[in-house]
Each structure stands twice: as C-alpha cells, then as structure tokens.
Amino acid sequence: MTDWATLADLQRLEALLRTAGLDAAAIGDKPQRFARAAETVRTSDSSALAFFVPGRIEVLGKHTDYCGGHSLVTAVERGFCIVASPRQDDLVRVFAQDENEEVTFSLDPDLDVPVGTWTNYPMTVGRRLARNFPNCRTGADIAFSSDLPAAAGMSSSSALLISTYLVLATINKLEQTERFRAQVVDELARAEYLGTHENGQSFGDLEGDRGVGTFGGSEDHTAILCSTANHLGLYKYCPTRAVQQIRLPDDLVFVVGSSGVVAQKTGAAQALYNRASLCSRALVSAWQKQDPDPVVYLADITSKGQAAVDRLRTAIADGNEGFDAPELSVRLNHFLAEEDLLTQAADALAVQDVRSFGQHVDRSQELTDTLLGNQVPETRDLARLAREQGALAASAFGAGFGGSVWSLVPRAEAAQLSQRWSGAYVAQYPVRESTCDFFATGAGPCAFPILS
C-alpha cells in the first residue's frame, strides 16, 4: 500500500520511478499523472495502491506465442500510471483520465461485458476473477493515465487488463489464497493466466469465459510482468518458459515510431488478427486427423523435425477447416521461418554482433509482409525508412494491421535519428502527421508497485 502523501510529492515519485529502473529522460510527466489519478480516487479512510504498468516491444516472434513458439520481448519505458482505493462494496469504478470517461461494474461472474471499447478489458478481468475466486468481492475506485500511444501495437490493452488485475488481486489478497497458489506457481504462470483472461481459455482449474475476443497468447503479459531492465527476454510459450536474458548493449536504445494507423483488436482488425491464429489451429487439426500422437500446438509438431513437417504438409494438401492448402502452407512457412530467424538473431545479439542481428531482423520484416501478410503501407515504409536513416535494425511488431515499428540505434544518435525518421515518414504520409508518434526508450523494467 502507498500513502496518499507520496502520490502528491512529485520529487518523491520521480525518485521512486528512477529507483525502479526507468531512465531519467523517460520519466517525463509520469509523476504528474500519478498525482492527478490520486486526486481522482483519494479518500480519507483508506490506503492507496499505485502501480506503473509498461507497454512492450515484440522484438521478434510475430504470431508465434500462441503456436507454442518463441519470442524476444522487452518492456518499454512508457505505460500506465495506476492509482486505486479500496471500496466497501463489490463495485469497481474505473476512471480513464486521458479520455475523461469512466465505467462502473460489479464483481459478478456473469457480468455482461460490451465489446469494442476500452471498458472491455477491466470488465473482463472483474468477471474472470469473480468467476475464479468466489471471495473476490471487494471492489475499488481505479484511475489511470497513460503516456503509451493507444492502439499502436505496444499492448496498451494488455497493460490495462494487467493494471486492473494488480489492483483487484492486491485488494482481495488473491495471490495469498491456496486456490491461487495451487494453480499459479510462479511469475511466468501468472502471465500465462492473465493471457487466458484475454483469449478466454481456462487455466488449470481456473475456469475460462468469453475473454475479450482475441485468440492470442501470453507474450504481451510475459513482457509486461517479467521483463528485466536493460535486457531482452527470450521466452518459449505454452507453457511459458524463460530461455535467455540478453543484455541490450549500453550504447544502444530503441526508437519507436508509431504509424498513426490504429491497430485496434476489434472489428475487422480483430477478424484479421484471429484468422492467423485460427489458421495455426487448422494446421494442428489436420495433423491430429492423421496421427494418434496428441499435440496441441503447432510447435509440438515442428519440433519433431523435418519428417514431421513433411507429414504435416501432406496432411494439409486438401485444406482444412475452411482454409485452403496454399493459405495453410504459407502460415506454416512463416512460423518455421520466424522461429529460425528469431534464434539466429538472439544468438547474434547475445554476442553483440549487431550487424548480423539487423540482417536477421530485415529478413523477418520481409517475411512478415510477404507471408504473414499483416502489414499496412505505413508500417512497411516505416521499417524501410528507419534503416535508410541509419537504424541498425528495424521491424514492425505487435498484432499488425497498423501499429508501430521499433528501430535500434546508437544512444548518442537517438534524438537526431528520430527527427530524421519522423520527417521522412511525414513527408511520405502527411495525413499521419497529427497522429504519429516517435520516442526513444530503453529496455525497461516490468510492472512494479509504488511503495508496496
């Protein structure tokens, strides 16, 4: 718990954020955001809860996590400033300060959750926790403000979901219960459990529900909850396992270019995102029809070696589950190529061979466009322009169909490159000038409480 006086002391907040691992240049107006949020929910008879919950960069591993594959991720130094106060009833009231909007709902396992707006995420968490933990019935007033570009591929939606969870789990002491500890055994499992809040799957004995409507995995939640400052994390999923922590060279930083093309996981974009996931499921289903060996994820098949891959190609020759053979083959080809490129890129970065790292990233970006097919002209050109302006590596990331591109640049050149890159982008897409955003970030820390 945090005292209210701390949240009104801007200098104290700045010091706490620096101690937690944020670079001084990245703190910006976060102290003011915390202070405003505290004023919104402050009461005289309760303690405060406060968290910083970052967004993330998917360095490599495009649409691989829900297939049981790998990804290379890190937290960014932008994110959500969350302040909350416990209530005496089962109501949760969430204030989105940047939008001047709010929603109130009860901790009800049968809560009717509307889709299509930001309210979907906190309400889905409330419903899921009420379903999984019958004693989770103490509500909260929650206020949040974010310096993370919304719907830009940096997992602002997952960060909001996690923010709500951290507040409600803390207030209701969920992580101290035998039921929680029996199912969620460590930090990686906690991230995986929160991934099921989004995709609706059950987690052990913790029953699933409708989720938020996207068929993704737990990559975002792992990056947000498990990242280490100044490092990139290599993880394997289904179940989530930590493979390697790779230190980012001290003289390098990321510059992120947000295209200004909204990457909402709703409506038509959600359907396109889910199609890639459903296609991977169709590949597994085709295998299951001709092989008694039980498999659940695409990686279970491809890890068996080339003979198994060849058998899978035979199994999909006539298509499956509404997908024709060419689309299934392309989806398989992308997964295999991305897994291989990711491994090579991680190995190169681990020995600080940045040149080779950049070459592997270039190939990944190319195949994301030609095989995965989730790029739009703006993200395609953002990656190209970053390299032309001197970036050591650059790639689009996230669900796709909009969003952002990361570039890796020398720290001393970050400001100049960002200016050149944004200028080149706006010159090509002047209509995006008012909505695009460019900023530098180190490999940041995972979500953390303020004076827990």
Question: What digits encode the pLDDT tens for the residues 205-225?
Answer: 999 999 987 778 899 999 999
What CATH number has the domain bearing residue 190? 3.30.230.10
Number of DSSP helices (H) and strands (E) in the chain, helices first: 16, 12
pLDDT for residue 45 is more than 70: yes
Taking the C-alpha atoms of residue 169 and residue 187, their distance in angstroms, rounded to an integer, is: 14
**DSSP per-residue letters across 97-115:** TTTTEEEEEE--TT-----
pLDDT for residue 1 is more than 90: no
Whether residue 97 contacts residue 116, with contact meaning beta carbons closer than 8 Å, is answered with: no
Domain membership of residue 432 (yes or no) is: no
Pairing status of strand 101-106 against strand 49-60: unpaired
Domain membership of residue 25 (yes or no) is: yes
pLDDT for residue 268 is more than 70: no
* Structural domain count of the chain: 1
Per-residue model confidence as pLDDT tens digits over 99-129:
999 999 999 999 999 988 999 999 999 999 9
What are the phi and psi torsion angles at 229 (to 5°)? -55, 140
Domain membership of residue 211 (yes or no) is: yes
Q: Position 250: which residue type?
A: D
Report the range of poorest mean pLDDT among 78-82, 128-132, 153-157, 190-194: 153-157
DSSP state for residue 3 in the 8-state scheme: -
Domain membership of residue 358 (yes or no) is: no
Q: Position 24: which residue type?
A: A
Domain membership of residue 339 (yes or no) is: no
Give the range of the structural domain holding residue 65, as residue numbers without chain letter: 4-244+445-449
Give the per-residue pLDDT at 269.
59
Domain membership of residue 440 (yes or no) is: no
Domain membership of residue 80 (yes or no) is: yes
pTM of the entire predicted model: 0.95
Domain membership of residue 436 (yes or no) is: no
> DSSP E strands: which ranges in 188-324?
231-236, 241-247, 252-258
Residue 41, judged by CB atoms within 10 A of its CB (0-12, 13-18, 19+), counts as buried
